[in-house]
Amino acid sequence: MRISPNHPRFRSLETRERLVRGFQAGIVAPQGLIAHGRGEAFDYLFGEITSKSSRAAAKAAAALLLSARNPVISINGNTAALVPRDMVRLAHSVHAGLEVNLFHRSVVRERGIASLLKRNGAGHVFGVNASPRFRIPGVASARRIVDARGIGAADVVLVPLEDGDRAEALRRAGKMVIAIDLNPMSRTARAATITIVDNIIRAVPELVRVTMKMKSLSRSRLSATVARFDNERNLRKVMKDMIHYMQGWS
Ligand code: ATP
Ligand code: MG
C-alpha cells in the first residue's frame, strides 16, 4: 500500500509497510512483526523523537565501536528490512563485520538477509550456515550459534533488537554489548554495556553521523568518552524523560 507523506503518522506507517514487505520477501519472521509492535508502543511514549539521553548513548557507542579491536554488528530480520543501507554504512565507517543472527533460524532466511545486505554494499557477511561455529554458553535459542570468526571472535557486538538472554550471555562471554532497544526496561537494555533507547530507524543514521564525526579522535579521547558513560544512570534518565513526556499529556 502507498501511504501519503501528508498522513500525520507517515513515518510510523511507512515503517510498518517496510516490515510487511520484508515479511513477504522472506526477510522478516512473523514474530518480528509482533516485536515491532512492542517497540512502537514505547516509541509513542517517548514522543517518537531521539532524546538527549539516547544521543549521549549513541556518542558513547560510536566511541566504543571506533576503539574496538574487532567489532561485529548482529543483523536480524527486522533490522535488515528497516535499515539495510545504514547498517552497511555503519559497518564501513567503524570497520565492523556484519553477521546474520536469527532467533527463528532458517538457512533460506539467512541467505536472503545476506544478499539484501550485499545489494546494499556489504562485502563479506558472516552467519550464513555458519562454519566454523561457536556456541555462546547459556543461550537457549538458535541465536546461541554464531560464526567463530564473526561474533565468536568479536570484542564489541552491536545487537539491535536483541533478546535479553543472549545479551546477558554475550556479556558473560566477556564481550562488550551495544544494544538498540526502545524498551528501557527490557533485560537487553539492562544487560548491555551501552543501550541506545531509540527507534532503530533513527538510531542507526545517528550512529553513522556520529562515527563520521568522531573518526579522527585519538584512542585516549575515545576511551575517555566510553569511560564517562554510565548505562544505569542513562537508563534512569531515559525513564524520567518518558514519564515527563507522558505527564505533558495529562
Ligand atoms: P528482553 O528479552 O530483552 O526482555 P523482550 O522479550 O521484551 O526483550 P523481544 O521480543 O525479545 O523483546 O524483542 C523485541 C525488542 O525490540 C523489544 O524490547 C522492543 O521494544 C524492541 N524493538 C522492536 N522494534 C524496535 C525498533 N524499531 N527500534 C528499536 N527497538 C525495537
Ligand atoms: Mg525476549
Q: Which residues sit opposite 75 in a β-bridge?
A: 100
Count of domains observed in the chain:
1
Residue with cell 541467505: 111
Q: What is the pLDDT of residues 22-51, one digit of tens each?
A: 999 999 999 999 999 999 999 999 999 999
Q: What is the pLDDT of residue 250?
A: 81
Mutate to test the pocket of ligand 1, among 183, 206, 242 (most ligand atoms within 8 A of CB): 183
Q: What is the pLDDT of residues 82-101, one digit of tens each?
A: 999 999 999 999 999 999 99
- Mean per-residue pLDDT for 216-232? 97
Q: What is the pLDDT of residues 135-162, one digit of tens each?
A: 999 998 888 899 999 999 999 999 999 8
Residue 194 Cα distances to 109, 214, 225, 236, angstroms: 29, 17, 12, 13
- Ligand nearest the Cα atom of residue 32: 1
Greater model confidence, 5 or 220 = 220
DSSP the chain: ----TTSTTHHHHHHHHHHHHHHHTTSS-HHHHHHHHHHHHHHHHTTSS--HHHHHHHHHHHHHHHH-SSEEEEE-HHHHHH-HHHHHHHHHHHT-EEEE--SS--HHHHHHHHHHHHHTT---EE-SS-SSEEE-TT--SGGGEEETTTGGG-SEEEEET--HHHHHHHHHTT-EEEEE-S-TTSHHHHHSSEEE-S-HHHHHHHHHHHHHHHTTS-HHHHHHHHHH--HHHHHHHHHHHHHHHHHTT-
Tell me if 128 is assigned to some domain. yes
Mutate to test the pocket of ligand 1, among 161, 185, 207 (most ligand atoms within 8 A of CB): 161
Confidence class for position 2, pLDDT limits 50, 70, 90: confident
Tell me if 19 is assigned to some domain. no
Tell me if 20 is assigned to some domain. no
By residue range, what is the domain housing residue 82? 52-247
Atom of ligand 1 nearest to the CA of 198: 29
Q: Whose CA is nearest to atom 10 of ligand 1?
A: 35
Confidence class for position 7, pLDDT limits 50, 70, 90: confident
Tell me which residue of 204, 213, 226 sits closest to 90, measured CA to CA: 204
Greater model confidence, 105 or 82 = 82
Q: What is the pLDDT of residue 141?
A: 86
Tell me if 18 is assigned to some domain. no
Mutate to test the pocket of ligand 1, among 162, 186, 195 (most ligand atoms within 8 A of CB): 186
Please state the pTM of the whole predicted model: 0.96
Atom of ligand 1 nearest to the CA of 191: 3
Tell me if 10 is assigned to some domain. no
Q: What's the CATH number where 127 sits?
A: 3.40.50.12640
Q: Whose CA is nearest to atom 2 of ligand 1?
A: 164
